[in-house]
Amino acid sequence: MAERLPKPVSAALLLAAAAVAGLWLWVPREDGRRDADSKLGVIAHSGDALVPLPQVPRLPADKVALGKALFQDVRLSRDNTISCAGCHDLSSFGHDGRRGSVGVGGAEGSVNAPTVFNASLNFAQFWDGRAASLEDQAAGPVHNPLEMATDWAAVIGKLQADDAFRRDFLSAYPDGITAANLADAIATFERTLLTENAPFDRYLRGDPQAIDARAKLGYRRFRELGCVSCHQGVNIGGNMFQRFGVMADFFGERAPQRPAVAADLGRFNVTGQEVDRHVFKVPGLRNVAETAPYFHDGGVARLEDAVAIMGRYQLGRELSPDEIDSLVAFLKTLTGMPPASLKR
């Protein structure tokens, strides 16, 4: 018999069930943020838990431009060698393709860097969900000794010495270069990083020819097998927490090949509660075919293997080669176009 889920995870599954039933989902505001009080809406696709990507929000062009510049500015790191784009490569679907990203002095991080594309659609940031917003997330790498290894005060000192940058910043932010404004500019830019026009989005919007028969079979299996209980909503994930190893002990069985590290504790590192041990934010699946390696530890290189692992440890079944092949065909239809803001 499967282990009974602890209350917080069960509650998350209830939320997923509500989404599958076609109840409430978050609807982004025009500024890209999410409003828990007044901006709720009903799924418009016949009770389907997956919905098309929204349009890129209308945001101040000057702040987007500043955020874009900051995202690629190595002055955000202690020794002027690492930028946000170093771990979230904007030319490679917003990630770096490494198991663990490399920071200042060659320090290697303990988790796989998630893609920054469509990250604004997540309900929390980082694998353990410790940041409630993109603004909160922006401060994390700056202060992390394994990443940029500095602090906002040192960053501000360097940026203040740049007359042109200081002038541009004052134009967008009357109080000038502050930690809050730096985080706001980066987050504003990141909210434009939506990968539109994926074949699956076109299919959801009514084009039956947008995906082929194999992908349609994979989509049906995705729902029938129960994958959609965790991977749903506009980002096809990213809106709940779940234990890695619901139906079997993933970390125990992985131990002979890769000993456990602190990052494997997941949300436990944030809350200290035993029920959160090995619990992680469910990743969004948009562009998943382009963002290997997979899982928080970057331990799986092939999408087919990742799908098989999900079947075994999350669904409690060994997926057949045909099931895996059709699921991968569906997942490949989730790849969208590069964000328009990168072309400007």
Tell me: do 247 and 322 sit in the same domain: yes
> Does residue 204 share a domain with residue 245?
yes
Alpha-carbon gap, residue 268 to 270, rounded angstroms:
5
Residue 148 pLDDT grade (very low, low, confident, very high; cuts 50, 70, 90): very high
SS3 of residue 150 by DSSP = coil
Three-state DSSP state, 342: helix
What integer best gives the mean pLDDT of the chain?
Answer: 88
Instruction: Give yes or no: residues 218 and 269 share one domain.
Output: yes
Confidence at residue 11, expressed as pLDDT on a 0 to 100 scale:
38
Beta partners for 24?
Answer: 42
Catalytic: 147?
yes
pLDDT of 47 strictly over 90: no
Residue 28: domain span: 7-56+195-332
The catalytic residue among 3, 30, 135, 147 is 147
| pLDDT higher at 90 or 22 | 90
For 78, the enclosing helix (H) or strand (E) is: none
Q: Which of 157, 190, 223 is the last residue of a domain?
A: 190
The answer on pLDDT for 304 being more than 60 is yes
Q: Extract the tokens encoding 25.
A: 């989902």
pLDDT of residue 343: 82
Helix (H) or strand (E) holding 42: strand 40-42
Sequence letter at residue 333: T
Domain assignment of residue 339, yes or no: no
DSSP codes joined into one string, 195-253: ----HHHHHHTT-TTSS-HHHHHHHHHHHHHTGGGTS-BTTTS-SSEEES-SSS-HHHH
pLDDT, tens digit (0-9, with 9 covering 90-100), for 124-141: 999 999 999 999 999 999
Does pLDDT of 32 surpass 90?
no
One-letter amino acid at 72 equals Q
Query: At 119, which amino acid appears?
Result: A
Indicate the residue among 132, 160, 190 that finishes a domain: 190
- The mean pLDDT of 69-86, rounded to a whole number, is 96
143 and 269 in one domain? no
Question: Same domain, yes or no, for 217 and 283?
Answer: yes
pLDDT one-digit tens code per residue, 234-248: 999 999 999 999 999
Residue 203 shares a structural domain with residue 324:
yes
The structure's pTM equals: 0.86
Nearest to 178 by CA among 152, 215, 200: 152
- Between 34 and 246, the more confident residue is 246
CATH code where residue 152 lies: 1.10.760.10
- When comparing pLDDT for 119 and 36, which is higher? 119
User: 318 and 211 in one domain?
Assistant: yes
Q: What pLDDT, on a 0 to 100 scale, did the predictor assign at position 1?
A: 36
In the predicted structure, residue 21 carries a pLDDT above the cut 80: no
Lowest mean pLDDT among 45-49, 55-59, 110-114, 263-267: 45-49
What tokens were used for 79? Answer: 């020794």
DSSP character for 307? H
Q: pLDDT (tens digit, 9 = 90+) per residue, 261-287? A: 999 999 999 999 999 999 999 999 999
CA angle, residues 274, 275, 281, in degrees to nearest 5: 115
What's the total number of domains in the chain?
A: 2
Map tokens 């700056």 to a residue: 142
Same domain, 31 and 82: no
Q: Same domain for 145 and 70?
A: yes
